[in-house]
Amino acid sequence: MKTKFALKAIVLVLAGAGLVFGGYWFGTQRNMEGATTSGATTGKVDPKTGRKVLYWHDPMVPGNKFDKPGKSPFMDMQLVPVYADEGSEDGGVKVSPALQQNLGIRFATVRREEVRDAFEMVGTTQFDESASEVVQSRVTGYIEKLYARSPQQRIKRGEAIASIFVPDWIAPQEEYLALKRGGNTELAAAARQRMRAMSIPDGLINQADRTGQSQKHYTLTSPVTGVITELSVRDGAMVAPGVTIAKVSGLNKVWLVAEVPETLSNAVRSGMTVEAMFSGDTNRKYNGKVREILPGISTATRTLQARLELDNRDGSLTPGMLMRVRLDAEKPVSRLLIPSEAVIASGKQSVVLVVGENNSMQPVVVTTGRDTGNDTEILSGLNEGQKVVASGQFLIDSEASLKSVLPKFAGNNQTMQPAASAVHRGIGTVEKVTPKALTLSHKPIPELEWGAMTMDFNKSSPEQFSEIKAGQEVEFSFKEYDDGYLLESVKPVGGKR
């Protein structure tokens, strides 16, 4: 009988425990369902302060937002209101128009434009080898007079380079002139053909006809206007058929060999238009095109070479000049652009401050693309028509830096304040001491509606409160900031150490 009674008692106890646990779980779930992830404005007013409340949150777990006051489901404390005049609803910040002007903050609009991909490189001018001409001797002779004195000498088309004495041309000319004087036209014509076969120029033969005397010297002239790049002979030197006397390179066009980074090797193609300039005259621009891409990549610089062709009919460009080159793609591409100065690059990510309603500014992580002049392409994170901060964003690149920096400049018209500027006081026992914080088991703090709990309080510096040890009962004061609670003072209760 007693055994049955005991079993019934145990069953009743377990059932009661199950009901208690179920009630606790249900209550916790109801509290958690009160959390809002959107942070929408509730439109409620705090009766104590008369200020508009955006939402309530637990300062120890700030990521969760609640649409009504109550007890925190995470800790033994009341939820704290976040007011509309403390910042933007999504965790951004607000700056008054007066403060914007004082800090020189400018805005820009996210815009979409049709732009051509452009690449900037450097290159060096060279002679256009395709326009070079070679001056050679076709007979055996001697350089009687050299008019061109040295390489790199400028020369015009038709100017004399060298005069050659050709002994083998004298006898055929004398024979031709004798037959002509004797009136034997058929034999004279045959002698004239033999002279042509011996590479005697028609001009020299005609001159012999006019003067009636054999011509002993033959003058070689420049076929193009340009620069003598090679000069292989001197006065009195013997020449033979096929010997190069001089090489003349034209300057109507010049080559520009540009270094293309390996990463852009697939983006540069033959036929692309180019624009070049050099430091001597930055206002003068030269137009041209990509002639060809040279094979091979330099293992030292990881670049390949593109041979460009520039118009130089005025002769202002000479080989060896270092020039900046801009290549434009053949077809424009639609891109989303913002000023490059609006992007805050931290190394790991890029951030842009987006302007919302009522002068609120919200940091947004973006993915950037190529730079186009003074603009940067945005691949993701922004939409066309949005306004972004284009200057002064170094002061407001995060909510924490804004709230700590702007009040110094705002004077009596401060629009940004710390999350709570009041100093709160409490009594507790030191559980742990670290360089960053003190862990305190404090008694209830009525002004914040906190119950007794154990939590961390931050220190301003690692050496602060170095005399405080674990196990001491202390009186402390602190302020609330967005990133936690910062200790103002800590001293043992009753002055004990």
User: In order of start, what are the domains of the chain with their CATH numbers?
Assistant: 2-86 (no CATH), 93-116+334-409 (2.40.420.20), 118-128+251-331 (2.40.30.170), 133-245 (2.40.50.100), 420-495 (2.40.50.320)
- pLDDT tens-digit series, residues 179-219: 888 878 888 888 888 888 887 888 788 888 888 888 888 88
d(Cα 255, Cα 271) in Å, to the nearest integer? Answer: 14
Number of CB atoms found within 10 A of residue 362's CB: 17
**Which amino acid is located at 301 in the chain?**
T
Tokens of 470: 């674990």
Paired residues of 338 in beta bridges: 376
Give the pLDDT of residue 288.
87
**Please, which residues have CB within 8 angstroms of residue 137's CB and are 6 or more apart in sequence?**
164, 220, 239, 240, 241, 242, 243, 245
Are the C-beta atoms of 93 and 416 separated by less than 8 Å? yes
Give the pLDDT of residue 476.
92
- The mean pLDDT value of the chain amounts to 77
Tokens of 403: 């709230």
Which among 276, 243, 248, 230 is positioned nearest to 128, based on CA atoms? 248
**Which amino acid is located at 189 in the chain?**
A
- pLDDT tens-digit series, residues 129-170: 888 888 888 888 888 888 888 888 888 888 999 988 888 888
Q: Can you tell me which residue has the tokens 């452009």?
A: 118
Residue 337 predicted with pLDDT over 90: yes
Give the pLDDT of residue 394.
56
- Please give the residue that has the higher pLDDT: either 232 or 22: 232
- pLDDT tens-digit series, residues 3-38: 444 444 444 444 444 444 444 444 444 444 444 433
Q: What is the mean pLDDT of residues 260-265?
A: 81
Give the pLDDT of residue 94.
63
- pLDDT tens-digit series, residues 372-398: 778 899 999 999 999 998 876 555 544
Bridge pairing between strands 226-231 and 253-261: unpaired
- pLDDT tens-digit series, residues 296-323: 888 888 888 889 999 888 888 888 899 9
d(Cα 227, Cα 156) in Å, to the nearest integer? Answer: 8
**Please, which residues have CB within 8 angstroms of residue 267's CB and are 6 or more apart in sequence?**
117, 119, 329
- pLDDT tens-digit series, residues 446-479: 888 788 888 888 888 888 898 999 999 999 998 8
Task: Kindly report the pTM of this predicted structure.
Answer: 0.45
Residue 436 predicted with pLDDT over 50: yes
SS (H, E, C) the chain: CHHHHHHHHHHHHHHHHHHHHHHHHHHHHHHHHCEECCCCCCCEECCCCCCEEEEEEECCEEEEEECCCCECCCCCEECEEEEHHHCCCCCCEECCHHHHHHHCCEEEECEEEEECCEEEEEEEEEECHHHEEEEECCCCEEEEEECCCCCCEEECCCCEEEEEECHHHHHHHHHHHHHHHCCCHHHHHHHHHHHHHCCCCHHHHHHHHHHCCCCCEEEEECCCCEEEEEECCCCCCEECCCCEEEEEEECCEEEEEEEEEHHHCCCCCCCCEEEEEECCEEEEEEEEEEEEEEEEECCCCCEEEEEEEEECCCCCCCCCCEEEEEEECCCCEEEEEEEHHHCEECCCCEEEEEECHHHEEEEEEEEEEEEECCEEEEEECCCCCCEEEEECHHHCCCHHHHHHHHHHHHHHHCCCCCCEEEEEEEEEEEEEECCCEEEEEECCEHHHCECCEEEEEECCCCCCCCCCCCCCEEEEEEEEECCEEEEEEEEEHHHCC
User: Torsion angle of alpha carbons 232, 235, 238, 240, nearest 10°?
Assistant: 50
Residue 330 predicted with pLDDT over 80: no
Q: How would residue 109 be classed by pLDDT, with cut points 50, 70 and 90?
A: very high
Half-sphere exposure in the Cβ direction for 178 (13 Å, CA): 6
